[in-house]
Structure formats: structure tokens, C-alpha cells
Chains A and B, each alone.
Chain A
Amino acid sequence: MYGVIIALVPALLVSFYFFGLGSIVVLATSVAACVLLEWAINKYMLKNPRNTVMDGSAVLTGLLLGFNLPSNLPIWIILIGAVFAIGFAKMPFGGLGNNLFNPALVGRAALLVAFPAQMTTWPKVGQLGSYLDAETGATPLALMKQAIKSCDASVLDQLPTSLDLFLGNHPDGAGAMGEICALALLLGLAFMLWRKIITWHIPVSIIATVFVFSGLMHMTSPVYADPVSVILSGGLMLGAIFMATDYVTSPMTPKGQLIYGVCIGLLTVIIRNWGAYPEGMSFAILIMNAFTPLINNYVKPTRYGEA
């Protein structure tokens, strides 16, 4: 658990660098709320003699929830998100190891449905001293959606270059604060692969599927953005590397993980291109979370003697 938190450090530093005060307030609120809630539920509702708050999972949920939020989100909305994450998605199922859905994503999805306006206006970067008063702009994903809806490929000319997307250098519309810089997230991936915290199957299958599917769409019509921009924008990297790989809610066998990853990739592109929201990553992961027990049940490891 703490290994994953270490892997999030590059993305954390990047979000401080780009969003300043706002990111500190949002992340601190989110982490503190998740940890406090887990502690309180353990102590007063479950009356658990061994409080699980120290295992680091609540800190991680708080960090990931914060990473999925705009840096100008009011504190009271963040608190509601934390209640959904810990109080609805995690503890009622039995706490660590028993939740069906990724707690941070449940928090985010609940906020997105309940507060669509606040959750889809994204501050521009570089306003280090501002929080609620930050100026906002259109994200790459919003531009992509607009191009498809208006059947006007010229909208895509406003997209930042792939290199800028990769480095996080697109100040106008940055999106959620954890997802701005693909490089920082890939550093986290490299760390987790090196320390054998996760295997390559889920992140690679998601990213490859999105790349191939959106590449095919791009070939059919230029209103669909090029696949490199697609995989570098929005929450794709954050989701593929840190959210979909959550141990508890993802399949356990390599084969199962590939099925899960490919389905997340397909759902993400479908929602991004033809759904109501510009971003489909979190819903795609939540949908596949629901299929994880089924995948675990049917996709077995290769038994000795079958090879």
C-alpha cells in the first residue's frame, strides 16, 4: 500500500507545481477526510478492536480521490466525496479487501453525478495562490467531444501537441490535478513494475486497447482525435496505472486481467466518443469492477498438467 503511495509522489509533486494552493487544499482535505472517516467507522460503528486505519489504504483512497477532482472544488463537496468513497463504497462491504468497487472512483462518480457543474470546470494551471477563485478553461477531452458532436475536425487544432500532453505542459485546460502529466504517472508505473507491486497486464492492455480502438476511429474520420492525444489526455493514464490496478477490485489471474483491461479500454473509448460525459475512464473501471468476481470465477490460472 505504501509502495503505491510512493509511486504517486511524482504525480503529487507535479500537481503542487501546476496547481499550487488549490491542489494542497483539495488533497489535504481528501486524505484527512478519508482517514478520519475510516478511523471513526472502525471505532464507533464496527467497533473493530484492531483499527485498520494504519494500513495506508485510506490514505491512498484519499490521494486518488483528490487526484480525480478539480483543484478549485469547495471543501464541503470533497467531504461528500470522501463519505461516498469510505462510508459507502468501502466500509459497508467489510472494509479493506472486501469492497466490490474502487472507493476513490465511487467517490468521484457520485460527485460527478451530483455536482456536474463543479466537477467539470477545470482551473487553468499556474494560478499558484488561488483556490476557489481560479480561472477555468476547456480540457483536451472537452475539445475532442466538441469535435465529434459538431462534426468539425478543425476544433482539434486547438489541442496541445502530444509532447505537451506528455509533459503536462497544456496550461489552458488541465483537467483533474492528478492526470495532467503523463510522464509523472508513467514514472509511478515504472516504480510499481520494478518493485513488483503490479504486473504489466492491466495498464498495458488498457492503454493498448484505447490506442488501437481510437486509432481505428481516427482512420474512419478526422473528427476523432489522433490516438496518441487520446491516450495522453484525461484520466486515462491515472486510471490505467493507479485505479484499474487496485488489487481488491481487479481480477487475479493474468488472463483475467487482460480481459478486464481490454474491456475497460473499449468502454472508455465508447463513453468518450459517444457518451454524455467527455471522460469515460472512471465509469469504465467501475463497470468492470462489477465484472471482476465473474472473471475470477471463470478465468482460472493454467493448472499444472494442462501445458
Chain B
Amino acid sequence: MSIKTFRIGGIHPEENKLTHEVETQMAALPKQAIFPLSQHIGAPAIPVVQKGDKVKVGTLIAGAGSFVSAPIYSSVSGTVLKIDSAIDATGYRNPAIYINVEGDDWEDSIDRSDKLETVKDHPELTPDLIVNLIKDAGVVGMGGACFPTFIKLTPPPTSKAECVIINAVECEPYITADYRLMMEKADEILVGLQLLMIAAKVTKGYIGIETNKPKAISLLTKKCTEAFSASDYEVEVVPLKQRYPQGGEKQLVDAVIRRQVPAPPAIPVNVGAIVQNVGTAYAVYEAVMKHKPLFERYTTVTGKRLAHPGNFLVRMGTPMKNLIEACGGMPEGENKLLAGGPMMGKALTSDEVPICKGTNSVTILSDDDARRKEPQPCIRCAKCVNACPMGLEPYLLAKVSEVKNWERAEHEDITSCIECGSCQFTCPAHRPLLDNIRLGKSTVMGIIRNRNAKK
């Protein structure tokens, strides 16, 4: 049997998983933690603390701003310094809560033991209870999209979930946080998956892993057999052929269950799948079983020129600068700092940006990798068309966006773009395709929203 993968487009960027076998270390506590109020898709959270308030690790500092939103908890103990603004991973200044760190005093409700809690020990966990615990703990998609997890688990009545797919692909070059998590917390992840399946009222689960992680595949396969063979749940580890952007939700659904999600506004659950990142499964375990809200995460800090790249369990709100120092400091010469990996990551102007819920990696590209090549004329070689995993025509979308022909952009399905950057990666003329498409996509989506609002 051939190894599964998605059917349209895709590329093979250089892997550069420098930190694959570097064990996760605890990041040191920062002196000051910064919590942007918008760390998720949806409305920003609303502060519930004031200047001078004392907080503990795990204290709620901002509540959900609307239905599509997520609360934010403090990852440190100390005093609220101010509610101001800070440059976050978007590159803009946005409202944020500053907390000066004093000691490391945790809320008593959090279970800090390492004991593995299983679903069997907790018969009280009903689907509704699990969803509420996930919602209250502020759990969002940990792969980078940061969509509130509880919403995905309560699909609209018009669609019915059939399976939960755990996204353990980690196709983005450089990043190894999910891999380390799988190697170090496999049991917890599987309990998390089971909780997700209970919440979604399904018994079928998949874990999609690319074949460049053979140890994770064999470990999880073994653990799955141990955990689920005598249960009503059927969980399958699916090895996937290495190809970017397999970790894209739509690509993963296609690869694992060979179904394609229709054009937006359709979501994976319309074809029966609920996709959750492996980090989310772990966060769900901690939220439900350990009563620990989402305030720390696994993050890779990497770069070819870094002295000691590594994987960290880091409290959110820690400035990236601290992690970079822990890896030996910013290398000499020209560097480009990214929140995320080289394909999907965002270049930052400041190393003071804090680690947030979605920061799976801090990547430092140096010298030639940090520089863009000069764009040449498009010769219509169609490499971008063949690489696009959504079956779009990037050259055309970029062109119509450049000349601001928004009707044409909408007509050519610009809103289907998942911004994976395969087009720009493959372009032999080094054209800034994705830059233009992103601009076009956000403009067109704004136009559509306005139109719908008027109706």
C-alpha cells in the first residue's frame, strides 16, 4: 500500500529540523510577562484585572470577549503593572496586560502532579462538561491558527462529526515542538484525543504523522494499541508521505480520509472531520484532567546560526528575547526573526514580542536565508499553479491583487487561499506572490463581510 498524502499540489522544502532530538527544557521565568488580549481568532479578550492586582499562576486575567473568543490566564505570579499595548506577533501594537513577576505561586485548583489521569477514572466527564472545561480553560488551536477549540467541538446541527483527526504532521521546516511533545507526552496526548472524541461524540480517531518522524509513528502506534484495543474507540496512526503543506487542515483531511472540504465557508466538519493539533490534544488533557488553563506551551527556538537551538516548555508572555538568549543569543550579522517557521511564519521587527498561544516556534534566518532575492518578470512557467495545494492560480491572484481588480480576485476564488506560501517558494523568478495574494484576500474578505452585513 502506498503511503497516503493529499492530492493537489505541494512542495518539498528543505527540512532543517535541527532540534529533532533536543529534549524539551523548562524556559526560565521572565522578569515581566506580557499578555496580548488578542491571541486567538475572534474578539479580543476583556481584562478582568486592574493595575496593582496580585495574580497567581493560573489566575484569569481576561475573559472571552464574545462567543468566538477565548479567556486568557496568567502564566506567572506577581503584580499587574499596567494594561497598555505591546507589539505582538502580528507586527502591530495591540492591547496587552503587563505583569511583573514575583516568585512562582500557583492557583491551588491546578493539579501539578505527573500522575496520568485516564478517562476510566473519571466517569463524570460528559461531552458537555468536557466542552465547557475546554472553553473555560481558554484552549485554542495550538498549531498556529488559534481558533477556539470548543467551537470546533460543537458543530452546527446541519453537519455531523464522524471522526477526530489529530494533526501531528508538523510539515513546516525547522519546527520540532509537536514532535518533542509526542515523544515526551504520548500518554497524555492519547487521553486528550479520547476526551476530544467523547466531546465530539465519535468513536473513530486518526493521528496523521509524516514519515520523517518514524520514532513518533512507532511510539504512538504502540501506545494506541495499549490504550484503545480493549475499548469502544478505534484510533489509527496514519503515516503520511512527507510533503508541505500536509499540516494544513484541508490537506490533512484529504490525506487521511480522502475527502475534500468544499469551498469556504465550509469547514472540515462538513465532511465529517474535526481536526485538532497534537498540542491542542495535550492542552485539552491538562485543562480537563489537571484543571490547568492554557498558559504554557511547547515552542521550538531554532536557526542555523544559533549556538544551541532547542525546544522549550515556555510560559506564555515570555519575551522571545529571553528564549533566544537561552539558545546562545542572536547570531552576529544579518538576521530575520520569525514567529513561526520559514514558510508560514511572520517576520518581526522586535525581539520583545511575547510567546503567545499560537507561537509554535521562534525561527532565526541568517545571511542569505534572511534576504529576499530580486523579483524577475513572470514567464508563466506555471510552477505556482502546479504547487498550489488548493488548485488556485497564484500568478493570476497576485496579478489581479496588484492591479486591485477585486471582483476578478473574488471570482478566481482568492478566499480559498490558505496562505501556505508554496507558490512563492516555488517561483523561479522570486516574485512576491503570497504578499500580493494576502493583501488581495484580506481586501476581498472585507468586501464580502460588508456585503453580507448590508443584507
Are A301 and B391 touching (Cβ within 8 A)? Answer: yes
Interface residues of A in 288-307 (CB under 8 A from B): 300-307
- Inter-chain contact B376/A55, CB cutoff 8 Å: yes
Chain A residues touching B, range: 20 to 34
Q: Contacts A95-B377, A96-B377, A247-B379 known; A302 to B8 CB distance under 8 Å? A: yes
- Interface size class, chain B: 20 to 34
Given contacts A97-B379, A252-B385, contact A304 B393 (CB under 8 A): no
B185 at the interface (CB under 8 A from A): no
Q: When A247-B379, A253-B382 are in contact, do A303 and B395 touch as well, CB less than 8 Å?
A: no
Residue of B261, B380, B416 near A248 (CB, 8 A) is B380
Contacts of B386 in A (CB 8 A): 199
Is A52 close to B, CB under 8 A? yes
B413 within 8 A of A: yes
Quick check: is B7 within 8 A (CB to CB) of the other chain?
Answer: yes
A304 lies within 8 A of B377 (CB): no
Say yes or no: is A98 at the interface (Cβ < 8 Å to chain B). Answer: yes
Assess A303 versus B413: contact at CB under 8 Å? Given A252-B393, A252-B395, A253-B385: yes
**A residues in contact with B392, CB < 8 Å:** 301, 303
Q: How far is the CA of A95 from the CA of B263 in the complex (A)?
A: 37
- Do residues A305 and B262 form an inter-chain contact, with CB atoms below 8 A? yes
Nearest chain A CB to B407 CB, angstrom units:
15
**B380 lies within 8 A of A304 (CB):** no
Residue in B closest to A57 when the chains form the complex, CB atoms: B379
Q: Give the CA-CA distance A115 to B183 in the complex, in Å.
A: 75
Contact A304 B250 (CB under 8 A): yes
CB distance from B243 to the nearest CB of A (A): 14
Q: Decide if B390 touches A303 in the complex (CB within 8 Å).
A: yes
Inter-chain contacts of A307 with B (CB < 8 A):
7-8, 260
A305 touches which one: B261, B378, B382, B388 (CB < 8 A)? Answer: B261
Docked pose: A194 CA to B393 CA in angstroms? 24
Which residues of B have CB within 8 Å of A302?
A: 8, 391
Q: Which of B263-278 contact A (CB under 8 A)?
A: 263, 266
Closest Cβ neighbor of A52 among chain B residues: B377
B22 interface contact, C-beta 8 A: no
Q: Which B residues are in CB contact (< 8 Å) with A301?
A: 8, 385, 388, 391-393
Closest to B381 in A: A247
Q: Is B319 in contact with chain A by the CB < 8 A criterion?
A: no
Q: Given that A301-B385, A302-B8, A307-B260 are known contacts, is A248 also in contact with B393, CB under 8 Å in the complex?
A: no
User: CB-CB < 8 A to A250: which residues of B?
Assistant: 380
Cα(A305)–Cα(B264), bound, Å: 10
The secondary-structure label for the interface of chain B is loop
User: A247–B385 contact, CB under 8 A?
Assistant: no
Whether the pair B7, A303 counts as a contact (CB closer than 8 A) is: no
In the docked arrangement, what's the CA distance between A267 and B387, Å?
32
In the complex, B389 has a CB within 8 A of chain A:
yes
Most chain B CB within 10 A, of A55, A95, A301, A305, is at: A305
Chain B residues with Cβ below 8 Å from A247 are 379-382
Distance in angstroms from B395 CB to nearest chain A CB is 7
Interface string of A274-300 (1 = CB under 8 A from B): 000000000000000000000000001
Closest A residue to B395 by CB, please name it. Answer: A252
CA distance A95 to B379 in the complex (A): 10
User: What is the bound-complex CA distance between A91 and B368, given in angstroms?
Assistant: 33
Interface centre among B250, B382, B395 (most CB of A within 10 A): B382
A97–B380 CB distance below 8 A: yes
Contacts of B377 in A (CB 8 A): 52, 95-98
Contact at A306–B395, with CB atoms within 8 Å?
no
Task: Name the residue of chain A whose CB is nearest to the CB of B261.
Answer: A305
Give bound CA distance, A250 to B379, whole Å: 10
* A303 contacts B416, C-beta separation under 8 Å: yes
Q: Give CA–CA (A306, B266) in the complex, Å.
A: 13
Complex contact A304–B390 (CB within 8 A): yes
What residues of chain B lie closer than 8 Å to A98, measured between beta carbons?
Answer: 377
**B381 and A304 form a contact (CB under 8 A):** no
Complex: how many Å from CA A175 to CA B254? 52
- Residue in chain B with minimal CB distance to A94: B377
From residue B9, how far is it (CB to closest CB) to chain A in Å? 8
Alpha-carbon distance between A98 and B395 when the two chains are bound, in angstroms: 13
Chain A residues whose C-beta falls within 8 Å of the C-beta of B378 in the assembled complex? 97
Chain B, 282-320, contact with A by CB distance < 8 Å: what is the 0/1 string? Answer: 000000000000000000000000000000000000000
Q: How far is the CA of A55 from the CA of B261 in the complex (A)?
A: 41
A96, A98, A301 pick with most chain B CB within 10 angstroms:
A301
Q: Is the CB of B391 within 8 A of A306?
A: yes
Determine how close the nearest CB of chain A comes to the CB of B149; give it in whole angstroms: 24
Nearest CB to that of A196 among chain B residues?
B383
With A303-B392, A304-B416 as given contacts, are A96 and B379 in contact (CB-CB < 8 Å)?
yes
B393 and A300 contact, CB distance less than 8 A? yes
Give the docked Cα–Cα distance between A52 and B429 (Å). 13
Task: Give A199 to B382 CA distance when docked, in angstroms.
Answer: 10
Within B3-17, which residues are at the interface with A (CB < 8 Å)?
A: 7-8
CA distance A271 to B386 in the complex (A): 33
How far is the CB of B416 from the nearest CB of chain A, in Å?
7
Q: Mark A65-97, 1 if CB is under 8 A from B, else 0.
A: 000000000000000000000000000000111
How distant is the Cα of A304 from the Cα of B413 in the complex, in angstroms? 11
Q: How far is the CA of A199 from the CA of B386 in the complex (A)?
A: 10
B-contacting residues, A134-158, CB 8 Å: none
A297, closest chain B residue (CB): B396
CA distance A252 to B393 in the complex (A): 9
Bound Cα distance A253, B393 (Å)? 9
A253-B385, A300-B393 given; A305·B263 CB < 8 A: yes
In the bound complex, residues from chain A placing their C-beta under 8 Å from that of B380 are 97, 247-248, 250, 252
A-B contacts, 24 of them at CB < 8 A, read A52-B377, A55-B376, A57-B379, A96-B379, A97-B378, A97-B379, A97-B380, A98-B377, A247-B379, A248-B380, A252-B393, A301-B8, A301-B385, A301-B391, A301-B392, A303-B391, A303-B413, A304-B391, A305-B260, A305-B261, A305-B263, A305-B266, A305-B416, A306-B391
The 4 closest A-B pairs by CB, nearest first: A97-B377, A252-B382, A303-B391, A304-B390
Other A-B pairs beyond A252-B382, A301-B385, A305-B263, 5, CB < 8 Å: A253-B385, A301-B392, A302-B8, A304-B260, A305-B262
